[in-house]
Structure 1
Amino acid sequence: MRQSPNPPTISGGAIVKGAVVLGAAAVVSKLLGTMQKIPLQNVAGDSVFGIYNAVYPLYTLILFLATAGFPIAVSRFVAEERARGSAAGALGVLKMALALSIATGLSCFVLLYFGAGILASWIGNGQTEAALRSVSFALFFVPVMATLRGYFQGLGDMAPTGVSQVAEQLIRVAVMVALLIAFVQAGASDAEIAAGATFGSAAGALAGLIVMSVYWRSHRKKEKRLYSDDSGTMRAGEAGRVGYRRFIAYAFPVCLGSIVLPMLTLADTFTVPRLLMQSGYGEAEAMRQFGLYNHGLPLVQLVAMIVSSMSVALVPAISEAKARGALAEVRRSAAASLRLTWLIGLAASAGMAVTAVPLNVMFYKDAAGSVTMMILACTTAFSVVQIVSAAILQGLGAERAAAYHLLAAAAVKVGLNLWLVPLWGIEGAAVSAIAAYATAAGLNMIRLKGFPFGRLSWRDFAMKPLLSTLVMAIVTAAVVFAADLLVANVFPDLSYRWRQTAVAIVSVGCGASVFGVMLFRTGAISATELAAVPKLGTKLLRILRKWRILPN
């Protein structure tokens, strides 16, 4: 096959564009995933909601085992092959990954479908068996979809991943709600209703795979026009450059690292309720307390999901720059990504902590568990730094370190749960979560010091962002107090939940605006950095200078 005379590279602009695309898709997808829980609980009741939440973390763990390492591994090796100008080598990586992903997907389907009875007994609820079998069908489609996403990410094209994520969630929610209503009206049992709800995951995965297949066909047509050999055959040397052993050696630690987050969730599931009961709570009250503990997790996971999707663009970009020997480019990408992530994490942590009460009432009807939500909010900053620093380590070939650091975090979580939950209840579990994510993020940053990144500025990474965060927190707290009084007086007949919903929306919006202004006023983000943002940067500069947020 003829080599491309100008091997495609992933530019800094492509990283920004890819991060924006995946970040936007993550917001839409996660919002859809969160919103689906509202009709599930309201239509089917708490019993079905409990079955669904018992099954889904286990399914997520098995799904990550089947697919987690493939997109990142594929994106890395495809980026390297394309940097060498070998489209054939990139295609060889894809074919090899597809064979592996199909095999793992089928194996995990057999495990989940035929082992549903055993798994249900481990959960301690036989009603989960039908839902486990229902959700297992998603494993036919997700591995192939994830592998194709990794291929396009390796090309620096994040649009297919973003579009397929949104399509997957839309169909998933639509099918879930449709089956939910149909089964409830038909008088089905709770187990059958939950199984119908979980089947939405399989339908969504099929929709996502169809979208990826459309993108793949379009891509292959373009490739055939670019290269003289349009038969798809490859030279043996090119196809075999990335062998199965090397691919698995890279994908497995990434997979190991990826499954730690659901493992942390399962660790809470199997430890916190039991520890609460040992502390004197009855079974029903222990489960209610565990439900309160989970109030803050969806919001933390929303921010983490956004940053995780944005970080996907980093792995192939850093791998490609490293392959070309462009160390200065690697340093710039890593430093800028870590700085942006730290700013997002600080703002999200402080904002969620200050607005915990109105957010809690808005999503869960009352303010119970707000203190725990405030504590859990602090995990956001460490969580997002861990995600991006792990992505940088993966791009640099130190994927094993990221996995080991997450395993250390999991050990910290379990150990502190055993100590703190009997002492402080669910607040103890929240404190142990902070310690776990701080451990993983800290270990990643220590490992990154072994690479030639240069010294990070204390003023840029700590003092200026922390000052901006403090001002934002004070202003947001004042807005929460004032908005609550204002809404109560202007709309006295408004229910408490709707009143707090209005307070939450207004205070979050004001807090985000204040934080953005403070970043520019303190110099945490410079005019030069903003001007580097394609298309949007120059326009924003004019507006900010017109409003005197930035000096002329």
Structure 2
Amino acid sequence: MMDNPRKDKGSATGMLLKGAAVLGLAAVLSKLIGTLQKIPLQNMAGDAVFGIYNAVYPLYILILFLATAGFPLVVSKFVAEQVAQRKYRAAARVLQVSIAVLMCTGVACFLLLFFGSGWIAGLMGTPKAEPAIRSVSFALLLVPVMSALRGYYQGYQNMVPTAVSQVVEQTVRVATMFGLLLWFLKENYGPDSIAAGATFGSVAGAAAGLAVMLWFRFREPRPSSLTDNEPLEKIGPLVKRLVAYALPICLGSVALPILTLVDSFTMPRLLAERAGGEAEGLYQFGLYNHGLPLVQLVAMIASSMSAALVPAIAEARLRGDREAVRSRTEAALRLTWFIGLAASFGLAALAAPLNMMFFKTTEGSAAMAVLGFTALLSTLNIVAGSVLQGCGAVTAPAVYLLVAAALKVAGNELLMPRWGIDGAAVAAVAAYLAAGGLALAHALRATGARFPLAAYVYRPLTAVAAMCAGLLALRALAAYALPPGRGAAAVVALAGVALGAVLYGVTLLRAGALTEGELRLVPKVKEKHIALLKKYRFIR
């Protein structure tokens, strides 16, 4: 129900925060489901299917961004403006026009993927990806409409429909993918058909998500309006206004998918040339993607943080409180740096046991170790980019990501013929170093935040050194005491995560990298915890 009584400022703020929390929790849960499903997919289907899937899915995401063209955010803005004036018919008109526009773009993108699947697969250098591209194309007939409905409800500050549909969409997507996977494996289908079954999960998930949004739409009572007799805006001018607002958002949004898509259009071809065949190239591409789910989990933490960071910095900037902008930026960057640094070196030190535990092999562990460092660089890029958006520099993060994409293309072409997937991993680190470094430098200039070497480099590196020494000692002990195998790898990986966290945290405190004031800002850290740390001289 979307009644709109007048509320005081405090209750409106509370509703906004509650809605943001609901949407944030759903986003984290759906991303977690989407990220972790890659591990059993590789385990069940093998690296050839895994390679095809990881070549096609970034393409689908890019085309999806182009099909929706930033409309969900724009719909929410336009609807919120109409609702604030109690013009509910006008809000409904925004939804109707947006659905019509997005149906056109969705159909166009569907036709491009479905009928151009062979041509696109040829550009990728992976003809076996053609069925998977054709399979996932049907989702483009459904997702744009679902996106418009999500934007409509967000305009009413009702985040529940979006949150429910996100979780249902991902759950059905993964369930369908594994159902088809089991069936196709039982029937001995080839890797191209199995990959097509995996990508078809996106179609089933989109259908389920759309069904949820339609259920919310049709069951709600229509709110009464005080201005229902006012003439509605004509369709033509409304379409022009929607598109004018949506296009800049779209251009900013496609930068990250483009960076991810670079590998789809370069790596399978280069690996096939190096290995002497498409099948081996796809297998190697699957090995390369072993490290990405773990890196994405770390980036997910940064994404969750950035959702709160943008409005916080924008609010302080609007008030003209430069000190608040600076302090909030420094706090976010500091936390991101500490988490990303530990995650990157931890992934590098535990690459082989993690690879064996999750993917049943140690092949590709060197590339996985190198890719681990993109966890730090990508999280820095995400948070620094959010700072820039909060400061009003909306296009800068997209430009830096496009620079990174160009570097990734050049790096792949230069390094992969000699080093294969290890060269691609080095190119990824260079690309994210460029994007993260440019965004960080811009954010520091824009906010006046400081990045002192002692606090951000020397002391944290001491903690990293202690952590890595402990992890290497653990691996050496395990190699002597445990029989080789997946079980032993799981023991080393899980024990290593726990040991690394303890060593890193303790050394970070003893080195004075974290202050008492900063610890007090951490949720659930109480006075007794502070007193205990002081007693044992972990903090001064």
- On the 8 A contact 1:27/1:302 being kept in 2, the answer is no
Question: AA paired with 1:466?
Answer: V
Question: AA paired with 1:499?
Answer: A
| Alignment equivalent of 1:543, drawn from 507, 529, 533 | 529
Shift in Å, 1:353 = 1.6
After the TM superposition, which of the residue ranges 512-521 and 378-387 deviates more from structure 2?
A: 512-521
Q: Give deviations 1:283-319, integer Å, cap 9, x for gaps.
A: 3555444333332222222222342344234445555
Q: Give deviations 1:444-498, integer Å, cap 9, x for gaps.
A: 23444564x2x22334xx5334356434433433443444466567764xx5221
Note the residue ranges of structure 2 that are not aligned, 5 or more in a row. none
Q: Mapping of 1:45-124 within 5 angstroms?
A: 45-67=46-68, 69-73=70-74, 81=81, 88=87, 91=91, 97-124=98-125
Shift in Å, 1:201 = 1.0
TM-score, with normalisation over the residues of structure 2?
Answer: 0.80
- On the 8 A contact 1:406/1:440 being kept in 2, the answer is yes
| Alignment equivalent of 1:507, drawn from 490, 496, 516 | 496
Count of aligned positions: 532
- On the 8 A contact 2:121/2:129 being kept in 1, the answer is yes
Please report the RMSD computed on the Cα atoms of aligned residues, expressed in angstroms.
Answer: 4.3
Cα distance in 1 for residues equivalent to 2:327 and 2:152 = 24
SS of structure 1 residue aligned to 2:395 = helix
**1:441 matched residue in structure 2:** 436
| Alignment equivalent of 2:292, drawn from 279, 297, 305 | 297
- On the 8 A contact 2:174/2:201 being kept in 1, the answer is yes
Question: AA paired with 2:489?
Answer: Q
Q: Give deviations 1:240-294, integer Å, cap 9, x for gaps.
A: 9x9655654453343333333332333223333544566x542355544433333
Cα distance in 1 for residues equivalent to 2:49 and 2:306 = 35
Question: AA paired with 1:506?
Answer: A
- On the 8 A contact 2:467/2:504 being kept in 1, the answer is no
Shift in Å, 1:439 = 1.7
Cα distance in 1 for residues equivalent to 2:472 and 2:45 = 35
Identity over aligned pairs, percent: 49
Cα distance in 2 for residues equivalent to 1:522 and 1:235 = 67
Does residue 347 (structure 1) correspond to residue 342 (structure 2)? The answer is yes
Cα distance in 1 for residues equivalent to 2:480 and 2:45 = 36
Closer, same or farther: CA 185–3 of 1 in aligned 2, 3 Å: closer
TM-score, with normalisation over the residues of structure 1?
Answer: 0.79
Closer, same or farther: CA 377–10 of 1 in aligned 2, 3 Å: farther
Shift in Å, 1:200 = 1.2
Cα distance in 2 for residues equivalent to 1:527 and 1:167 = 42
Closer, same or farther: CA 200–400 of 1 in aligned 2, 3 Å: same
Closer, same or farther: CA 445–192 of 1 in aligned 2, 3 Å: closer
Cα distance in 1 for residues equivalent to 2:519 and 2:216 = 32
SS of structure 2 residue aligned to 1:145 = helix
Cα distance in 2 for residues equivalent to 1:408 and 1:542 = 48
- On the 8 A contact 2:444/2:450 being kept in 1, the answer is no
Question: AA paired with 2:198?
Answer: A
Closer, same or farther: CA 48–347 of 1 in aligned 2, 3 Å: closer
Closer, same or farther: CA 231–185 of 1 in aligned 2, 3 Å: farther
Q: Give deviations 1:187-213, integer Å, cap 9, x for gaps.
A: 555544433322211222233334455
Cα distance in 2 for residues equivalent to 1:96 and 1:7 = 32
**2:461 matched residue in structure 1:** 470
Cα distance in 2 for residues equivalent to 1:158 and 1:484 = 46
Question: AA paired with 1:374?
Answer: A
Does residue 282 (structure 1) correspond to residue 282 (structure 2)? The answer is no
Q: Mapping of 1:305-454 within 5 angstroms?
A: 305-315=300-310, 333-448=328-443, 451=446, 453=447
Closer, same or farther: CA 518–486 of 1 in aligned 2, 3 Å: closer
After the TM superposition, which of the residue ranges 348-357 and 312-321 deviates more from structure 2?
A: 312-321
SS of structure 2 residue aligned to 1:312 = helix
**1:29 matched residue in structure 2:** 30
Closer, same or farther: CA 287–195 of 1 in aligned 2, 3 Å: closer
Q: Give deviations 1:381-400, integer Å, cap 9, x for gaps.
A: 22112222323333444322
Cα distance in 2 for residues equivalent to 1:31 and 1:321 = 31
**1:480 matched residue in structure 2:** 471
Question: AA paired with 1:282?
Answer: G
Closer, same or farther: CA 189–94 of 1 in aligned 2, 3 Å: same
Cα distance in 1 for residues equivalent to 2:107 and 2:314 = 30
Question: AA paired with 2:54?
Answer: N
Shift in Å, 1:142 = 2.3
- On the 8 A contact 2:87/2:226 being kept in 1, the answer is no
